[in-house]
Chain A
Amino acid sequence: MSAPRRFLVALAGTEDAALPEAVVRVVGAGAEVEVALLHVAETGARELAAYDPLLRRGPWPLPKKAEIEHRLTEADDEGAAALLASWHEKFALALPGTKITHEVAQGRPEEQIIAAAQRLNADAVILCARPRTGPAEPGPRSVGHVARFVVDHSPVPVLLVRSSRTVP
């Protein structure tokens, strides 16, 4: 028996709930498929929250920077874990018998998705064309900047999923 095909599913968290069904229709399910769910915590906002005070606020007595950073990182990890757990349930329902793993990364989503695809030796990357902005018909501007970057830079095939209305 050949090794299972391995797919990396990048989740911003705000995807259409029908994503797992779309995935199963295209890649199938069962033991010959492996799915890694990836969530990337963006660091820009965290840096802003941790550094803004230092330079902006003058000699106001500060909570320790390391302490703030630690709290924010912890919150990110907690949020990412909860997010992946909730998607894990949906994927487990739609893809019975499929091995599902979790990946959490930090940084720019587009870069981290490519890095994870290489690291995991994935056969393909799966992501929504524009997860944050809800349903969008195919057409101009219907692919967000993260998906665009992944399509441009991915060394492996990329499956762009549309929202439920437009999935065949």
Chain B
Amino acid sequence: MIVYTPLAPSAPLAAALFLVTIVLVIARPWRLTEAAAAALGAGGMVLAGLVSPSGAVSDVAGHWNVLLFFVGLTGAAAVAERSGLFEALAGTAARLSAGSPRRLLAAVVAAGAVVAALLSNDAAALVLTPVVYVLVARFGLAPLPYVLACTFVADAASIALPVSNPVNVIVSDRLGVSAASLVPVLLPAAAASVLALFGCLFVIYRQQLSARAPLVPAASSWDAWTGVPRPLLTAFGVAVAAFAVASALDVPLGPTMAAVWLLLLGVEWTSRRPERPLDGVGWSLLVFVASMGILVDGLSSAGITAWLAQLVLGQVRDSPAAVMIVTAFAAAVGSNLVNNLPAAFVFADAVNSAGLSAASAHAAAIGTIIGADLGPNLTPVGSVATLLWFVLLRQRGLQVSTWSYIRIGLIVTPVTILAALGVALLLGVPR
């Protein structure tokens, strides 16, 4: 049965506030940061009376698990970066490649997938990309295929585990689906999308990859593991195992991640004292996520997310397979229109308000995660931000062949989404 929920009279105002906020987040005029823009929007929601002040406080408090998770995740990624782990991984990739550009691409994709799965897509894209670039330059190779591989694999692999993408935690938290219950479906789906990505890059760059690397760097420059403190390496292993056990037992992810971070920080402190141990913790990410929660609450109380759920899920709500497909494509489109974090928030809330059966909700969580994680790759820098990126480069007098970047995303995104969705439909839909 389809229940039609009417939009509240405040709906246009709420929608306008949300859209203006998203435009500010993407365009960032007047040196505004994303977090400040989102906070402005959240403040606007409260001032306009769409969210009560007490409601706003409970929105933020209700996200304690997600917020704590982000503190821990960004902190742990910062410890990993300081420890030289990324350089060591890239060095191993270089050694495994033995000067063959094809094998180097495969090794870079594999390293990127591991980093994205364990330390989040953003850490992989932000920290690994420059490291890989430096490595590829040492081989005298054109870095573009490898840089694109880092950018794309960061997202392709990020459906794997709850830690792999902030979107995953937000979606499972909002839908009340156990994050661990998604892993048996999403981990194989991630493998499928990473393989599909590698296949695409391999075919697109087959000619460039067929020549041998013109330089062979000294082997000493590959062996970077000696730079990583041993106790810290052990601590990373312990942290991964502890996290796996805790999420299998359905311990909330926030406290687990925070504990993992404190453990890593403690071990780092004993082996070499970092000058600023709190550097790299994403405080602004917290403000951003908290503000998004309030903004989406405003949309929700105006009936917009319920209306959206009806629009998207109205006809298919009782078939988990159809729900998964529809949410995946809707989330992919949504995250190209706005950024993917806001898209994930809106979608999770929409699905939540649809009152789906447990099986359909599970399928919706998987579909939303696949769409919102892989979708932004449609354009290589994601969402509307791409346009801005090119404007920025042109202003600086730099010539970028727009098409050479965009066409990769146009090919890779549908292929990876279909690969992941195919596996998820096989494994994640009860028959």
Contact = CB atoms under 8 A, between A and B. Distances in A.
A61 B78 contact: yes
A42 B393 contact: no
B122 A57 contact: yes
Contact of B288 (A44, A50, A59): A59
A66 interface: no
A52 B151 contact: yes
Interface string A75-90: 1101100110010000
B269 interface: no
A49 B129 contact: yes
B133 A45 contact: yes
A45 B142 contact: yes
A107 B399 contact: yes
Main secondary structure, interface of B, reads helix
28 contacts: A13-B140, A13-B214, A14-B211, A44-B400, A44-B401, A45-B133, A48-B400, A51-B393, A52-B380, A53-B126, A55-B386, A58-B288, A59-B34, A59-B287, A60-B122, A61-B280, A61-B283, A61-B284, A72-B130, A74-B134, A75-B138, A79-B137, A79-B139, A79-B215, A83-B140, A83-B215, A86-B140, A132-B208
A12 B339 CA distance: 37
B340 to A, nearest CB: 8
A86 B208 contact: no
Contacts of A5: none
A63 interface: yes
A42 to B, nearest CB: 6
Interface string B135-146: 001111111100
Interface string B70-105: 000010001001000000000000000000000000
Interface of B: 26, 33-35, 74, 78, 81, 122-123, 125-127, 129-130, 133-134, 137-144, 147-148, 150-151, 207-208, 210-212, 214-215, 217, 279-285, 287-288, 339, 341, 376, 380-383, 385-386, 388-389, 392-393, 398-401, 404-405
A51 B144 contact: no
Given A75-B134, A75-B138, A76-B137, A56 B398 contact: no
B215 A42 contact: no
A3 interface: no
A86 to B, nearest CB: 6
Given A51-B389, A59-B34, A42 B142 contact: yes
Interface in A124-168: 132-134
A49 B147 CA distance: 6
Contacts of B280: 61
Contacts of B212: 14
Given A57-B126, A60-B122, A82-B138, A51 B392 contact: yes
Contact of B133 (A60, A72, A111): A72
Given A13-B140, A79-B137, A79-B138, A59 B284 contact: yes
B144 A78 contact: no
B26 to A, nearest CB: 8
Interface in A17-48: 42-48
Given A49-B129, A51-B392, A56-B151, 20 more contacts: A13-B141, A44-B144, A45-B142, A45-B143, A47-B393, A51-B381, A52-B380, A60-B123, A61-B280, A63-B130, A68-B130, A71-B130, A75-B137, A78-B138, A79-B137, A82-B140, A83-B215, A133-B207, A134-B210, A134-B211
A71 B137 CA distance: 11
A133 B210 contact: yes
A133 B287 CA distance: 49
B282 A61 contact: yes
Interface in A90-139: 107-108, 111, 132-134
A84 to B, nearest CB: 10
Contacts of B78: 61
A1 interface: no
A109 to B, nearest CB: 10
